Amino acid sequence: MADEIERGSVSIDAENIMPVIKRWLYSDKDIFLREAVSNGCDAITKYRMLKPGTDESMLVEVTVNKDEKTIEIADTGIGMTADEVRRYINQVAFSSAAEFMKQVAKDEAEEKDGRGGIIGHFGLGFYSVFMVSEKVEIDTLSYQDGAEPVHWQSEDGMNFEMGTGSRVEHGTTVTLHIAKDEEEFLETSRLRGILSHYCGYMAYPVTLFDACAKPVEREEPVEGETDKDGKPVMRKVMEDPKPEQINDTAPLWLKKPADCTEDEYKAFYHKVFTDYNDPLFWIHLNVDYPFNLKGILYFPKLPEDFGVREGEIKLFSGQVFVADNIKEIIPEFLMLLRGVIDCPDIPLNVSRSFLQNDGSVKKISSHIVKKVADRLNGLNNIARTEYEGYWDDIAPFVRYGCMTDPKFYEQMKAALLYKLTDGTYVTLQEYRDKFGAKTENKVYYTSDPKRQAASVSLYTGREIGVAVMDYPKLDAAFLNFMEFSGGEDAHFARVDADVSGLTEESEDGAALDQEKLQTLFRGALDKDSLNVTLAPMADESLMAVVTEDEQMRRFREVYGMKDMPDQWSLALNRRNATVQALAARDPEDETTKLLCEQIYDLARMAAKPLEGEEITAFLNRSAKLVGMAAKA
């Protein structure tokens, strides 16, 4: 083959590829660099499998030459013979990685070396370089004894020339002659950003060198020479630019949890997610069977409006970045977390950006959810005080997860906490054990402790705990879930939803006529549909309580139907002396009407502030009643 030039057309293995190659293979052009570097790492992995214990330098070098408009990606891997070039380059989608792994058992390979596994699966990655190139050259030399170097080149990815090459060491160099309209990729900063993004944690050193960079001037001390003050004499020297290593070959997630310190976890979090705040805590995933899964999930402090937060779970395959937030493996509720997941067993499609519909994906996803639930349950059972310290920040995430993932709910239901207005935390069962006798097993809650302080005090005054559920929309939906889907026979009522928790058995005021009082208040307030009831409330000084139907209010909150009118009901305390006296008054008397309006507004103010004309009317009426009382 020494003097012969072989020409031909690249063949397509139709059984392994869809008719999508070259410029339509990937959605983002910068992925060409990931694919080329990944291929280099694969070649090194193969070499180390076949030559265990070698002390040779193993790396992938990326060299950019803006003057010549080229990018070189060179590896020190296994290299290729001419026959292998014909087989793996000239036949699109005949994956060398897939064939190689059939020959070398993965278990044996990991036992020998323990470095990253084979990345490629489809044999398509190489052709991504044509998205940015007007010409591509390959110079390769197989590690096999007696192998000859091979040179391959093509201008369109379909027609090629192949002959004798000049490489003298095993490995492969791919030279890209960058197309005129893609010269942005000749900028060193652009390449550094792409390499950091996709290749920042690959298993072997990845370096970047700017062949056009000028020497840098620096100062160094002259050995043995000092000035009159005894300080070293400095001289200026020119230093040639050196290759810059881009990646961390041993990322934290690959280490054993026992070997990682708290400072390391925090430093890794700050580096990857550029968040100056410390995470609350984290879960280190370290699974070898039945699949290979490594990773770290961080629980950050969630913003109040967490619904607009973008997920930040980075998915890697064999230390190669694939994509953010792959929903097939990362459940939606986990997107509220930050972290990295590395799973070489994930079956990726041809562009490595989406997961195939595979049964193993569901198993991996379920395992991640289980590990999160195990960690939270462990904190609840073993470190309850610490768990309570995290709860305010993780409550939205946990509740959202329970609503969207039935398995997560089953695993977490015993560890769901409710924060009470006094700052303590209880589970649903603990609330029932403590307050159930007074609440008929209802859980009373407030959605705004400050605005509903008066209503809250009615319950806390009776030593009934009130839970704080102050995440709009989420908590209303969560309460619906718990009542109708949770299977816990749970019932929740906001402090202004009913008065059953405020009553006690009594004969006081039993003779009052409820229908008469309803007619009285409807006439005075001009509200023909107002529902008025009588109840024996434990606090005799309490005149009345305004309530709103729980389900109607939740419906309005969950679906954002702000225009839906409020539907208040008025519960009068038949044990209250003012109510008893009012029942005996002349319904046509002006003072009677004013008192009805005042009692109603006072009750409403305990649940919701009066606004606009309502507060003006209340103040004018109050002044009028004070004046009438003064003259009496």
Which CATH number does the domain housing residue 202 bear?
Answer: 3.30.565.10
User: Number of folded domains in the chain?
Assistant: 3
CA 5 to each of CA 8, 11, 135, 150, 459: distance values in angstroms, whole numbers, following the listed order = 10, 18, 17, 11, 92
In angstroms, the CA 322 to CA 326 distance is 9
CATH number at residue 616: 1.20.120.790
How confident is residue 115, by pLDDT bands cut at 50, 70 and 90? very low
Q: What is the pLDDT of residue 9?
A: 67
Rounded distance, CA 142 to CA 79, Å?
A: 4
- Are 91 and 97 in contact by the 8 Å Cβ rule? The answer is no
In a domain, 517, yes or no: yes
Same domain, 27 and 174: yes
What local confidence, expressed as pLDDT, does residue 118 receive?
42
Both 257 and 206 in a single domain? no
> How many CB atoms neighbour CB 96 within 10 A?
21
Residue 477 lies in a domain: no
- Tell me, yes or no, whether 102 lies in a domain: yes
**DSSP secondary structure letter of residue 215:** P
Specify the pairing of strand 320-324 against strand 312-317: antiparallel
Query: Taking the CA of residue 25 as centre, how many other CA atoms within 13 Å lie in the half-sphere pointing to its CB?
Result: 27
Domain range holding 513?
Answer: 508-547+565-631
Whether residues 124 and 263 share a domain: the answer is no
Same domain, 197 and 284: no
Q: Are residues 278 and 164 in the same domain?
A: no
Residues 6+ apart with CB under 8 A from 56: 76
Contact yes or no for 141/168 (Cβ under 8 A):
yes
Single out the residue in 346, 381, 416 at which a domain terminates: 381
The pair of structure tokens assigned to 443 is 């859980």
Domain boundary among 381, 407, 442: 381
Q: What is the mean pLDDT of residues 467-477?
A: 87
Q: Is residue 90 part of a domain?
A: yes
Give the pLDDT of residue 181: 92
Q: Are residues 43 and 100 in the same domain?
A: yes
Relative to beta strand 312-317, strand 338-342 is: parallel
174, 86: one domain: yes
Answer yes or no: do 205 and 300 share one domain: no
Which tens digit of pLDDT belongs to each residue from 351-374? Answer: 445 555 556 777 888 888 999 999
Query: How many Å apart are CA 376 and CA 399, to the nearest integer?
Result: 13
**Single pTM value for the model:** 0.76
Q: What pLDDT, on a 0 to 100 scale, did the predictor assign at position 113?
A: 45
For residues 6 and 460, the model is more confident at 460
> Which pLDDT belongs to residue 497?
86
Contact by Cβ (8 Å): 360, 392 = no
Task: For residues 206 and 258, state if they share a domain.
Answer: no
pLDDT digits (tens, 9 = 90+) for 449-460: 988 888 899 899
Determine the Cα–Cα distance for residues 198 and 73; give it in Å rounded to an integer: 15
Domain boundary among 381, 400, 433: 381
pLDDT-based confidence at residue 57 (cuts at 50, 70, 90): confident
Q: Which residue has the tokens 């058992």?
A: 105
Packing angle of the helix pair 590-607, 453-460 (nearest 10 deg)? 80
For 228, the 3-state DSSP assignment is: coil
| 53 in any annotated domain | yes
In a domain, 129, yes or no: yes
Which residues contact residue 598 at a Cβ distance below 8 angstroms, ignoring those fewer than 6 apart? Answer: 618, 621, 622, 625
267: in domain:
yes
Q: What pLDDT band is residue 499 in, cutting at 50, 70 and 90?
A: confident
Check which CATH number belongs to the domain holding 266 and give it: 3.30.230.80
Q: Tell how far CA 378 is from the center of its chain.
A: 21
Structural contact between residues 532 and 517, judged by C-beta atoms closer than 8 angstroms: yes
| All residues at 6 or more sequence positions from 560 whose CB lies less than 8 Å from its CB, including other chains | 473
Mark whether 206 and 305 lie in a shared domain.
Answer: no
Do the domain assignments include residue 239?
no
pLDDT value, residue 431 = 95
Q: Are residues 262 and 206 in the same domain?
A: no
Are both 199 and 291 inside the same structural domain? no
pLDDT in tens, 535-564: 999 889 899 999 888 887 887 777 666 666
pLDDT of residue 416: 96
